[in-house]
Structure 1
Amino acid sequence: MAQFNIADAKAHFSELVQKALLGEDVVIARDNKPLLRLVPLHVAGSPRKTGSAKGQVWLSEDFDTTPEDFEDYVR
């Protein structure tokens, strides 16, 4: 994650926009405290890339198993 203070972000805004468009995490900070993240907008109707999240999404084997301490709340 790249973090930039407001003055640097102001001076290099077009570079930061390009980084965000390329998928980099761009954070703008004040006094070294993160304030906001620069992210691209996804245009409605733009085609999704099939398989783009492959290997990034997973569910544990017990995903839909009710925890033992919640049994009283299940009908």
Structure 2
Amino acid sequence: MESINIHEAKTHLSKIIAKVAEGEGFIIAKAGKPVAKITAYDAPAESEIKRIGFLVGEFKVPDDFDRMGQDEIADLFGV
């Protein structure tokens, strides 16, 4: 999330709002310290965004995954 200072936010408010409406978020900072987070009104909170498990059912991990290529790896290391 991009951080901008208060002066830049006031100067370019229309452009910032247009970007926020497209889904981009911003942090407004005063003297380098974050004071406000600007996101679209209907955007889910970061805590509501689920990343773990988003590919469930999309592929299958082979049962021998942890042993795949073990002979080639052993040959490379001279074991």
What is the RMSD of the two structures over their aligned residues, measured on CA atoms? 2.3
- Matched residue SS, 2:16: helix
**How far 1:10 sits from its partner (Å)?**
0.1
- Matched residue SS, 2:51: coil
Q: Which runs of 5+ in 1 are unaligned?
A: 43-52, 60-75
Amino acid aligned to 1:11: T
Aligned residues: 48
Q: Percent identity, aligned pairs only?
A: 29
Q: Which runs of 5+ in 2 are unaligned?
A: 43-48, 55-79
CA distance in 2, matches of 1:20, 1:7: 18
Output the TM-score relative to the length of structure 2: 0.51
Which residue of structure 2 lines up, in the alignment, with residue 23 of structure 1?
Answer: 23
Q: Structure 1, residues 31-71: CA drift from partner, whole Å, max 9, x if none?
A: 111111111212xxxxxxxxxx7x83428xxxxxxxxxxxx
Output the TM-score relative to the length of structure 1: 0.54
**Higher normalized helix content (fraction of residues):** 2
Find runs of 4+ consecutive structure 1 residues off by over 6 angstroms.
none
Which structure has the larger Rg over C-alpha atoms?
2
The equivalences for 1:1-75 within 5 A come to 1-42=1-42, 56-58=51-53
- Matched residue SS, 1:24: coil
